Amino acid sequence: MKSERLTDAQVRALGWEALVEKLGPTGALRFSIQTQGGHGDYVQWRHRTLGTLSVDQLLARMRSSSKTARPRTRRKQR
């Protein structure tokens, strides 16, 4: 089957079927959620959140906070 001849709707339907076949319904849904695009203006959020921090400054903060942070505990799965 040539994908060039398929409509966008057909590609989505076949893609969903392939995901469900390989991952099962729950795995396919999890994959779909993870790959959905975000919303809002990332650049504006980044400037508001990080300001003028350089990559080196940000990495230093991350390293510093990871040394003082409490270890995360895993939540029980239901």
Top-confidence residue, 76 or 78:
76
pTM: 0.45
pLDDT digits (tens, 9 = 90+) for 18-27: 999 999 999 9
CB 25 within 8 A of CB 33: no
pLDDT digits (tens, 9 = 90+) for 10-68: 999 999 999 999 999 999 999 988 888 777 887 888 888 888 888 899 888 888 887 77
Does the pLDDT at position 1 exceed 70? no
Helix H, strand E, coil C: the string for 6-71 is CCHHHHHHHHHHHHHHHHHHHHHHHHHHHHCCCCCCHHHHHHHHHCCCCHHHHHHHHHHHHHHCCC
